[in-house]
Structure 1
Amino acid sequence: MNDREEQLRQRAYGIWQSEGEPHGRDRDHWEQAERELIDTASEEPVATAKPNPRRKKADTVPQTIAAEPTEAKPKTGRKPRTKTA
């Protein structure tokens, strides 16, 4: 893999991550990376990809909570089913 292709790959990956890692947009990200590299070569300012504001990052679960065992709780307010013959 040549240097330019490696730069494209890394930039497209960065764009993908900054947009929230959407599925099926790889060609768009690759083409955007190509445009940015061309702009960089001509020394024009490059517009950077903005992060997707709708994507929520998953919070990590604190270790104390994750280590506690969880048990299923019975539902309340319902009568148990009876068998009908």
Structure 2
Amino acid sequence: MEDREEQLRQRAYGIWQSEGEPHGRDRDHWEQAERELTEVVPDEPAAPAKPATRRKKADAAPQTIAAEPKPKAPRKPRAKTA
């Protein structure tokens, strides 16, 4: 079970990076990773469908990425105007 979760985590991270590291899309990336990994392993029997439950936004998906600000590029000096 932990191995599958790690695969999901790595794939969701790769999707996040490929989309330019947008904020607020972690659930979308996680679900896309689940779909992709499910398609790759067709031999496993499908789990019985669970009724959808509404979750709090904070519980939606595990946070797999540490939010660290990117360093800003140094500014170029402006030309002085007379």
Query: How does the TM-score come out when normalised to structure 2?
Result: 0.53
1: CA distance, partners of 2:80 / 2:31: 53
Q: Which fold has the larger relative contact order, with Cα–Cα distance below 8 Å and residues 6 or more apart in sequence?
A: 2
List 4+ stretches of structure 1 deviating above 4 A.
Answer: none
Greater Rg, structure 1 or structure 2? Answer: 1
Identity of aligned residues (%): 73
Distance 1:31 1:74, change over 3 A: closer
Distance 2:10 2:31 in 1: 13
Give the match for residue 20 of structure 1: 20
Amino acid at match of 1:29: H
Q: Equivalent residue for 2:9?
A: 9
- Asked whether 1:29 is paired with 2:29, we answer yes
Any gaps of 5 or more consecutive residues in structure 1? Answer: 44-60, 78-85
Q: Provide the rounded CA distance (Å) in 2 between the counterparts of 1:19 and 1:5.
A: 21
Name the Cα RMSD after superposition: 2.9
Secondary structure class of the residue paired with 2:35: helix
For 2:10 and 2:36, the matched residues in 1 are separated by 12
What does residue 67 of structure 2 align with?
none
Distance 1:24 1:74 in 2: 38
Q: Which runs of 5+ in 2 are unaligned?
A: 44-72
2:42 alignment counterpart: 42
Aligned length: 52
Relative distance call for 1:38 and 1:75 in structure 2 (3 A) is: same
Q: Displacement of 1:74 after TM fit? A: 7.7
* Secondary structure at 1:76 match in 2: coil
